[in-house]
Amino acid sequence: MTFEAFGRLCRELAATPRRLPKIALVADALRRLDPEEVPWAVAFLAGRPLPSSDPRDLGVSWATLARVRERAAPTPRRGGLTLLEAARAFEAIAAATGAGSRREKARLLADLLGRASREEAETLVHILMGEMRIGVHEGLIQEAVARAAGVDAQVIRRAALFLGDLSEVARVALAEGAERLGAARPRLFVPLLPMMAEMAEGLEEVFEEHAGQTALEVKYDGARIQLHKAGDEVRIWSRRLSEVTASLPDITELVRTRLRAREAILDGEVVAIGAEGRPLPFQELMRRFRRVHGVAETARGLPLALYLFDCLYLDGRSLIDEPYRARWGELERISGGRDLARRIVPAGLGEAEAFLAEALAAGHEGVMAKALASPYTPGVRGRRWFKVKPAERLDCVIVAADWGSGRRRGWLSNYHLAVRDEASGGFAEVGKTFKGLTDAEFATMTDWLLALKAAEDGVTVRVRPEVVVEVGYNEIQRSAHYPSGFALRFARITRIRDDKSPAQADTLARLRQLYDRQFEAKARTARLR
């Protein structure tokens, strides 16, 4: 495929508002590609210069790209660049490391843009910045791959969970067929998306939904991790599927020496522990995750506790389709009962409420409630797992920020908050806030957001949607001012969610659900008066 043809496809997708015609366009394009081109087309359509299984970063900032574009002179010719040539150029940019790498990356980028026509250069820039703006997200690509390969979409979705890379799923589907995809299983050292939970209004809702067959685990204010073990090799991934093994040597050693399993994939949480054994704030824990130098010294000064709560794979056997009670049984066996999340299977509501109160009194966030018969569904949020905690909060994405005034002058300190709009594949704003951060955090956030700058008008800086924050609020109100149709009243940032990606932020559908629940609660209160 020529890159000119790929650019035409992108423009046609951007001009096609309806989902089914978009799927047809992508499926038709995938059928016409050579097998070697398929993974790259999928990555580019998703706004990635490299397939998601490639851990490398191109290391090209917006400022570098702007300087190179000023110097590069796109040629008027068309069709000279191919899809694979663009792919090889991105690989070469990612491979440039060490002394002089910044200059080499800029040279390679200038060469690539200089070989492209104006239209091709625009498409390349959109890929580089992860801003395709063509209304194509991974769910839509999965359906397009299914149609192109003639397989059920559920087979594609399941294979994507295990292979960990939609580009590879597309290649296998189109080159090797449904049988090869159907054989996909969890693989050691290929991280799975974590299973997620719905928020429950209270324990009564949990008991009703789970028909009384539920287990309660302490919900720790820590960072979720996924552990993979094969013999003496142990590797760890964060909730965002970033590898953090090097930052957690104490946890890898603990798993290596204590776990009675040759091979395992485990789900768990790490918590920073203070002098009196109480959990420290989440931001203290993030110091460990960011540390790349002096790790051993930091580990001694900021110890972590490990709490395991699920077993997804054990000694060559996938457990994700097994019920939660069976997975927990295997976890107890291989751990010897150590390093497990505190857990009960309550006989009734009274015992459950006492357990929740005890968890809160110990400084934890609340409890997780898990249906005893539930399988593990990677990447899926559902009512088989519930979060039960006192305050309502949302995970939002920062999409823009205003320059501050007065004491906050010089900082980007009024943040535009948004939730995911699954229908459009974009983000819908729900309010602004400048509350919740310290001066040091304002300064750090300013540098972070400026590195993500997409546009600026002198007052507001629009940024690529990459920073996730947990937002507390007093009430959700209807609002014509924001595209979401809602506004968070008295919003305040309660913590920066370094461990979450924008794809794991809360959705507009969840916001509507919370608004409806809030309205119902007000109606009940009014009736009691």
DSSP string, 389-428: -SS-EEEEEEEEEEEB-GGGBTSEEEEEEEEEETTTTEEE
pLDDT-derived band at 525 (thresholds 50, 70, 90) equals very low
| Domain residue extents for the chain | 3-182, 196-388, 393-518
d(CA 414, CA 403) in angstroms, rounded, equals: 7
Q: Write the pLDDT tens digit of every residue in 366-417.
A: 999 999 999 999 888 889 999 998 767 899 999 999 999 888 999 999 999 9
Q: Write the pLDDT tens digit of every residue in 481-518.
A: 998 999 998 899 989 998 899 999 999 999 998 888 76
d(CA 493, CA 481) in angstroms, rounded, equals: 21
Per-residue model confidence (pLDDT) at position 520: 55
Residue 382: how many CA atoms within 13 Å on its side-chain side? 13
For the ranges 111-115, 179-183, 331-335, 340-344, which has the lowest average pLDDT? 179-183
Q: Are strands 304-314 and 366-371 parallel, antiparallel or unpaired?
A: unpaired
> Does residue 263 sit in helix, strand or coil?
strand
Per-residue model confidence (pLDDT) at position 365: 83
pLDDT-derived band at 151 (thresholds 50, 70, 90) equals very high
pLDDT over 70 for what percent of the chain? 95
pLDDT-derived band at 292 (thresholds 50, 70, 90) equals low
| Whether the predicted pLDDT of 118 surpasses 60 | yes
Q: What torsion do the CA atoms of 292, 293, 298, 300 make, to the nearest 10 degrees? A: 110
d(CA 329, CA 387) in angstroms, rounded, equals: 22
Per-residue model confidence (pLDDT) at position 526: 34
Nearest to 108 by CA among 119, 130, 124: 124
Helix 62-71 to helix 118-128 angle, to the nearest 10 degrees?
170
The b/e string for 463-486 (b: 16+ C-beta within 10 A; e otherwise) is bbbebbbbbbbeebeebeebbbeb
**Per-residue H/E/C for 495-522:** EECCCCCHHHCCEHHHHHHHHHHHHHHH
Say what the pTM is. Answer: 0.70
| Whether the predicted pLDDT of 78 surpasses 50 | no
Nearest to 252 by CA among 196, 304, 319: 304
| Whether the predicted pLDDT of 144 surpasses 50 | yes
d(CA 273, CA 328) in angstroms, rounded, equals: 25
Per-residue model confidence (pLDDT) at position 497: 92
| CATH assignment of 196-388, among 3.30.470.30, 3.50.50.60, 3.40.250.10, 3.90.1150.10 | 3.30.470.30
Per-residue model confidence (pLDDT) at position 11: 96
Q: What is the mean pLDDT of residues 115-123?
A: 91
> Is residue 219 among the annotated active site residues?
yes
Q: Please say whether the beta carbons of 301 and 246 come within 8 A.
A: no
Per-residue model confidence (pLDDT) at position 313: 97
Answer whether CATH 1.10.3260.10 is correct for domain 3-182.
yes
d(CA 288, CA 278) in angstroms, rounded, equals: 17
393-518 belongs to which homologous superfamily?
Nucleic acid-binding proteins (2.40.50.140)
pLDDT over 90 for what percent of the chain? 67
Looking up tokens 């913590």 gives 495
Q: Write the pLDDT tens digit of every residue in 13-22.
A: 999 999 999 9
372 CB neighbour count, 10 Å cutoff: 17
Q: Which of 22, 105, 219, 229 is catalytic?
A: 219
Q: What is the mean pLDDT of residues 341-348?
A: 97
| Whether the predicted pLDDT of 528 surpasses 70 | no
